């Protein structure tokens, strides 16, 4: 590409007014890049000096989309390589910030259609759904680092599952999304990990629990969960010596399926709450036996279900009284699950497991500490949210 060395402000450009801005920007950047190459080579064009460290090798065209239109710059080349002008590199940083913006907007629950409309309105740039999806892939490294971070001592382990629709081989299937959180001996609550897979339930649970142990989780005194399919066998295989507390909230909900008449539900719920609110295990077991006998005639199916299942919610009585309110249910994970559902509702059906895991990981990248929301610390040099929203705000203000 030939390069114009005429950088003067001609009468022709002056007469164009604001229409001349793209050309002026092209001239300015071209001039800056040429000066930078001369400094890099430690010599001007055609200058012979002992300090010269390379040789100029013409120019290469590069078209960049800016807010004033497409501009084709003449990028100076160096024969020996290793040089690229910082003037365009700064522009690329803004471009990367825009890509991060697209990724974060999508992760925060904005559909690709709305992202496309926003970028067209603010930036004058038409962004396709494929570009948004590619932009979100930039988060993968950060999220993988968070999922693989080392763990420490965890006193109480909470696990739960939700299901999302994923397209697999032209079919829509349900993928199990597993989420684990824990409480440290210091009382700090952390989100420990997430996993999304279409695999068999027991195999998925087993692999997930093993991954937590391999990352250094130890000292678990109690596992709190609902009776998810496959979890029982996996828990016994990986954490066989750890007691299990079945979620009391889900137990009470499950009881409703065995109540023969709608008018009995309030009475049954009150009896179950009385068991779970007992002062100790002995009192809870006495109330359970009383309820089993009470409903043996009027609701035999409910009576049998109570005898078989409700005692699984009494493990909490073996732990300190001040801890029981926190560890008797998996409600601490409901906030995370609510955030997951709020964002996945926008997607509907994920194109693959990877995209599902990416969104679930970003939703779970927060924990509750001392009763308030707090970001999980990741030792990485990433500030995506800050960079992207500053960038969008700057564009909007202009």
Average pLDDT over all residues of the chain: 77
Tokens read off for 289: 């036996």
CA neighbours closer than 13 Å in the CB half-sphere of residue 199:
12
Beta bridge partners of 201: none
Rounded-to-integer distance, Cα 252 and Cα 237, Å: 27
Give yes or no for a contact between 260 and 240, defined as CB atoms under 8 angstroms apart: no
Residue 397: left (phi > 0), alpha (psi -120 to 50), or beta?
alpha
Write down the pLDDT at residue 392.
44
Rounded-to-integer distance, Cα 317 and Cα 183, Å: 18
Full DSSP string of 311-355: GGG-GGGGS-HHHHHHHSSSGGGHHHHHHHHHHHHHHSEESSHHH
- Radius of gyration of the chain from its Cα atoms, rounded to whole angstroms: 31
Confidence of residue 248 (pLDDT cuts 50, 70, 90): very high
pLDDT at 116 over 50: yes
Write down the pLDDT at residue 301.
92
Give yes or no for a contact between 340 and 363, defined as CB atoms under 8 angstroms apart: yes
Measured from the Cβ of residue 75, the count of other Cβ atoms closer than 10 Å reads 23
DSSP state at residue 167: E
Cα dihedral 302, 303, 308, 310 in deg (nearest 10)? 80
Question: 356-381 pLDDT, tens per residue?
Answer: 887 777 777 654 333 333 333 322 33
Closest CA to 230 of 192, 204, 248: 204
Q: Which of 68-72, 119-123, 139-143, 351-355 has the lowest mean pLDDT?
A: 119-123
Rounded-to-integer distance, Cα 149 and Cα 141, Å: 12
Percent of the chain predicted with pLDDT > 90:
28
Rounded-to-integer distance, Cα 149 and Cα 161, Å: 21
Q: Which phi and psi (to 5°) does residue 268 adopt? A: -65, -45
Using a cut of 0.75, tell me whether the model's pTM lies above it: no
Write down the pLDDT at residue 356.
80
Max CA pair span of the chain: 106
Tokens read off for 306: 């109570």
Write down the pLDDT at residue 391.
45
Helix (H, G, I), strand (E, B), or coil: what is residue 2? Answer: coil
DSSP state at residue 301: H
Rounded-to-integer distance, Cα 93 and Cα 236, Å: 50
pLDDT at 103 over 70: no
Closest CA to 181 of 327, 313, 380: 327
DSSP state at residue 153: B
Question: 66-97 pLDDT, tens per residue?
Answer: 666 778 888 888 888 888 887 776 555 555 55
Q: Which phi and psi (to 5°) does residue 192 adopt? A: -85, -35
Tokens 């100790």 sit at which residue? 280
Q: Which whole number is the average pLDDT over 123-132? A: 60
Q: Which phi and psi (to 5°) does residue 394 adopt? A: -60, -40
Rounded-to-integer distance, Cα 222 and Cα 368, Å: 19
> Domains of the chain (ranges plus CATH)?
11-84 (no CATH), 93-143+379-397 (no CATH), 150-244+334-377 (3.30.420), 248-329 (no CATH)
Burial class (CB in 10 A: 0-12, 13-18, 19+), 198: middle
Confidence of residue 396 (pLDDT cuts 50, 70, 90): very low
Question: 133-142 pLDDT, tens per residue?
Answer: 666 666 677 7
Cα dihedral 95, 99, 100, 104 in deg (nearest 10)? 150
Give yes or no for a contact between 41 and 78, defined as CB atoms under 8 angstroms apart: yes
């Amino acid at each position: 590409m030939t390069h114009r060395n005429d950088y003067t402000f001609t009468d022709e450009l002056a007469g164009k007014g604001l229409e001349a801005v793209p050309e002026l920007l092209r001239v300015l950047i071209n001039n800056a890049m040429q000066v930078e190459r001369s400094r890099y080579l430690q010599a001007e064009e055609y200058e012979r000096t002992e300090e010269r460290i390379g040789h100029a090798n013409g120019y290469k065209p590069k078209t960049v989309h800016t807010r004033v239109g497409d501009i084709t710059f003449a990028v100076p080349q160096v024969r020996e390589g290793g040089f690229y002008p910082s003037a365009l590199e700064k522009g690329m940083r803004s471009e990367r910030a825009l890509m991060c913006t697209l990724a974060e907007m999508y992760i925060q629950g904005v559909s690709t259609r709305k992202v496309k409309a926003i970028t067209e309105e603010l930036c004058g740039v038409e962004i396709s759904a494929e570009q948004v999806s590619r932009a979100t892939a930039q988060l993968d490294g950060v999220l993988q680092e968070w999922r693989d971070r080392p763990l420490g001592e965890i006193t109480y382990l909470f696990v739960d599952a939700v299901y999302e629709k994923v397209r697999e081989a032209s079919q829509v299937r349900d993928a199990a999304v597993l989420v684990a959180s824990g409480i440290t001996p210091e009382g700090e609550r952390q989100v420990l990990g997430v996993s999304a897979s279409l695999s068999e339930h027991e195999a998925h649970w087993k692999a997930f629990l093993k991954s937590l142990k391999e990352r250094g989780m130890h000292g678990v005194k109690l596992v709190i969960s609902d009776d998810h399919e496959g979890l029982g066998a996996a828990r016994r295989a990986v954490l066989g010596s750890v007691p299990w507390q079945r979620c009391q909230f889900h137990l009470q909900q499950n009881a409703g399926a065995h109540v023969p008449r709608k008018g009995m539900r309030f009475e049954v719920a009150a009896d179950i709450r009385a068991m779970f609110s007992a002062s100790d295990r002995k009192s809870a077991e006495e109330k359970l036996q009383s309820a089993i006998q009470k409903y043996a005639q009027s609701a035999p199916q409910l009576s049998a279900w109570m005898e078989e299942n409700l005692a699984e919610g009494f493990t909490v009585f073996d732990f300190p009284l001040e801890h029981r309110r926190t560890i008797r249910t998996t409600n601490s994970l409901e906030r995370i699950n609510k955030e997951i559902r709020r964002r996945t509702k926008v997607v509907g059906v994920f194109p693959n497991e990877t995209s599902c895991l990416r969104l679930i990981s970003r939703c779970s990248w927060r924990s509750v500490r001392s009763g308030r929301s707090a970001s999980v610390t990741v030792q990485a040099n990433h500030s995506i949210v800050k960079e992207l929203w500053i960038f969008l705000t700057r564009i909007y203000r202009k």
